[in-house]
Amino acid sequence: MFENLSERLGGVFDRLTKQGALSEDDVKTALREVRVALLEADVSLPVARQFIKAVEKKATGAAVTKSVTPGQQVVKIVHDELIGVLRGEGEPGSLKIDSPPAPILMVGLQGGGKTTTTAKLAKRLKERDGKKVLMASLDVNRPAAMEQLAILGTQIGVDTLPIIKGEDPVAIAKRAKTQAGLGGYDVYMLDTAGRLSIDEELMAQVEAVRDVANPRETLLVVDGLTGQDAVHTAENFDERIGISGVVLTRMDGDGRGGAALSMRAVTGKPIKFVGLGEKMDALETFEPDRIAGRILGMGDIVSLVEKAQQTLEAEQAERMMKRFSKGQFNMNDLKMQLEQMIKMGGMEGMMSMMPGMAKAAKQMGDAGIDDKILRQQIALIHSMTKRERANPQILQASRKKRIAKGAGMEVSDLNKLLKMQRQMSDMMKKMGKMGKGGMLKQAMR
């Protein structure tokens, strides 16, 4: 549905997240690319502009650029902003159809998929919500359209109002209302006539029908492939008729998806459903979270969740640094570090995020220093008692043997781990000293 846009954004964000440190200029450059990608997807200019402005405001602050994972933070901000642009009120796909019989008015241009969508929605209401639905075609100019709805009705097992030749749309609407009341229907759907373009006659007719039916929902069905035209159509219909929501059809095609992104921002009306094919069950609820996920690529979202956790961990890390600078670094600390490394994509992944370390990271990867070793080391720590973890210096031969055996490894492996812990402890102590006098002072000069 959003393949091209998704691909473009993916490229931008890939570069952004691979960069370790980010300057405000880096973020701005990336956002310029995002803007171009949005415009190419046929998102309207004011919407793209406003979107970028909102993201930029949140993404260029020190809280982001100085964070542990600036690239991911920016992606998350874009993700949240996307949801904001797409979201309407209430539950996705919710319709006001209490107080039966509830009328739903279906409006739109000819060929947009109105009749098909009427039937798809009727099927959904019947099957998912257990509603008794009546459909009526008001397209008196095109007998074929009336026939089409009747045929679809038979196919999906939903009643249609019998066709009476020569009846005008307002009379049909009234009859549908009466029939719906008498027949105990929960919902009746009025499939109005479409035109190839918006004209006065069409609007006047739809208006007249609206006034007698007093619909609970007025859904505009538009072809999503038409991009900004779809948004203009929605604006026009809303001004004249007043719509409660939009159904975007043909989102199964390779459309650029811009209509979906601009619709809510330009018209103020939510997209309630999307059509994803010609079949009767090819109708989906429009869920902003999922759509944003789709646009940014699912994998990113999963990692975003993890990154959110890392923000919390950053605070924890600060507290730890205080202890480390005093040379307090035991096996629990080492375990946490190892786990963190795995989370950040192993040694190789973590080091590649640090400026200037990409090459070293690749060498380590090539040398086989990877997740497996990290996990083995964690297993060794797991096999220690609480006391041993806090005071690794108490480990003598018999304890070592027990621990190694418990983790299914050799004492020599454990010795390596112990050496690592001692080295890190020493290093931390040195860094702490530098932090107080040397390093900090140098940085301030």
79-98 mask for ligand GDP (x: CB under 6 A)? Answer: --------------------
| Helix, strand, coil % in the chain, rounded to nearest 5 | 65, 10, 30
Least separation in angstroms between residue 29's CB and ligand GDP is 37
By CB under 6 A, the residues from 109 to 148 that bind ligand GDP are 110-116
CA distances from 156 to 112, 119, 143, 270 (A): 21, 8, 20, 27
226-265 mask for ligand GDP (x: CB under 6 A)? Answer: -----------------------xx-x-------------
Number of residues counted as binding ligand GDP (CB under 6 A)? 17
Nearer to ligand GDP, 10 or 277 (CB): 277
Q: Are strands 217-223 and 102-107 parallel, antiparallel or unpaired?
A: parallel
By CB under 6 A, the residues from 350 to 369 that bind ligand GDP are none
As a whole number of angstroms, the distance between CA 164 and CA 175 comes to: 10
The residue from 108, 227, 257, 392 that contacts ligand GDP (CB under 6 A) is 108
Hey, what are 186's tokens?
Answer: 């929960």
Query: Is the separation of the CB atoms in 353 and 376 below 8 Å?
Result: no
As a whole number of angstroms, the distance between CA 270 and CA 202 comes to: 23
Beta bridge partners of 298: none
266-295 mask for ligand GDP (x: CB under 6 A)? Answer: ---------xxxx---x-------------
Site for ligand GDP contains 325 (CB under 6 A): no
As a whole number of angstroms, the distance between CA 431 and CA 440 comes to: 11
Least separation in angstroms between residue 111's CB and ligand GDP is 5
Least separation in angstroms between residue 278's CB and ligand GDP is 4
Q: CB neighbours of 78 closer than 8 A, spacing ≥ 6?
A: 9, 13, 34, 55, 59, 296
- Which residue ranges make up the site for ligand GDP (CB under 6 A)? 108, 110-116, 194, 249-250, 252, 275-278, 282
Q: Which residues are annotated as a binding site?
A: 108-115, 191-195, 249-252
